[in-house]
Amino acid sequence: MPTRIYDVHPHIISTDDKKYPITPLGGKRSVWSAERPVTFEQMIAAMDAAGVNKSAIVHSSTTYGFNNEYMCDSIATLPKRFTGVGSVDFLASDAADKIRYWHGKGVTGLRIFSAGSTFEKQADTLDDPKTFKAWETAIDLKMSVVTQLRKEGLHMLYTLLRKFPQAKIVVDHLIHAPRGDQPPYDRYAFLYELAKYPNVYFKLTTNNVRHSREDGATPETFFPKLVKEIPANRIAWGSNYPASKGALPEMVNEAKTALSCLSAEDQDWIFYRTAESLYPALKD
């Protein structure tokens, strides 16, 4: 069992739409944020119930676009327990200034939402040269950058990994492995190839835990294969609460049970040590 648990993928939504207006990226709000929102106060209660020590809250760009105010206002009240992963328009001419502004308000990581349930297709701008100044700024500030993308966007990710070897780039949701796959998991060999770049990290979420019990896959066959191909010190667990359905204690128990087939050392890396590497603000 892990000795500590840090969550690198929870989301919070305010009940105050006037103070924090709903301005979703692309104009389409995520269903989960409207139907089952969780406030910062509710997140704290859920973490306490689930035994989650600390969190890197991920700004909901499908609710607030590039306005990180609610997340920043919230984490400022408990800076020793929380840090923030914000969203900035990397294509904007003032992206570098915006990154520095939000960094000053407690944002220590960034997330580029280039694909997801509210996007019909993979955005084709991930490696646009217009974004390079923003990437340089993130590196200068030692901010990890999370990329939510589909397999179709991998060629752009490779461009960024090669151009910015100093950047810590995190891939969301293991690009949904092992959905639809089973041993020996050849369908996701592209993940293992990606892991050959030492500056890429991987986020293992509730989605992946649940996929590991579908279509002939099992946690006991998938997760040992995963850490054989990708070192555990480059994998971090995130709940995806409340975007994924269920209560946070349920998600924590699901993950602990699924990963119990791994060594104690690997579990510690996945549940908190890698999180400290990506977001040093979470260290005691």
Residue-wise pLDDT for 9-40, tens only, equals 999 999 999 999 999 988 889 999 999 999 99
Write out pLDDT tens, residues 78-94: 999 999 999 999 999 99
pLDDT tens digits along 194-252: 999 999 999 999 999 999 999 999 999 999 999 999 999 999 999 999 999 999 999 99
The 10 Å Cβ neighbour count of residue 152 is 12
User: Whole-angstrom Cα distance, residue 38 to residue 233?
Assistant: 30
For the chain, the average pLDDT equals 95
pLDDT value at residue 125? 79
Which amino acid is it at 244? S
For residues 90 and 112, the answer to whether their CB atoms sit within 8 Å is: yes
**Percent share of the chain, pLDDT over 90:** 90
Q: How many CB atoms lie within 10 A of CB 32?
A: 21
Tell me what pLDDT residue 20 has: 98
Is residue 160 over pLDDT 60?
yes
Residue type, 169: I
pLDDT at res. 231:
97
Q: How confident is the model at residue 124 (pLDDT cuts 50, 70, 90)?
A: confident
Give the pLDDT band of residue 151 (cuts 50, 70, 90). Answer: confident
Instruction: Give me the pLDDT at residue 119, please.
Output: 61
Distance between CA 234 and CA 199 in Å, rounded? Answer: 9
Q: How far apart are CA 227 and CA 204, in angstroms?
A: 11
Question: What is the percentage of the chain residues whose pLDDT exceeds 70?
Answer: 97
For residue 94, give the nearest of 61, 59, 133, 60 by alpha carbon. 133
**CA neighbor of 172 nearest in space, from 231, 235, 226:** 235
Q: How confident is the model at residue 189 (pLDDT cuts 50, 70, 90)?
A: very high
Q: What CATH superfamily is the domain 6-282?
A: Metal-dependent hydrolases (3.20.20.140)
Beta bridge partners of 169: 145, 200
DSSP 3-state of 52:
coil
Dump strand ranges (E) for 174-230.
200-205
CB neighbour list of residue 118: distance below 8 Å, 6 or more residues apart: 24, 25, 26, 28, 29, 30, 62
DSSP state of 92: S
pLDDT in tens, 165-186: 999 999 999 999 999 999 999 9
pLDDT value of residue 120: 66
What residues contact residue 279 under an 8 Å CB cut-off, 6+ apart? 8, 56, 83, 85, 108, 109, 144
Residues 6+ away with beta carbon under 8 Å from 18:
none
How large is the average pLDDT for residues 106-121? 79
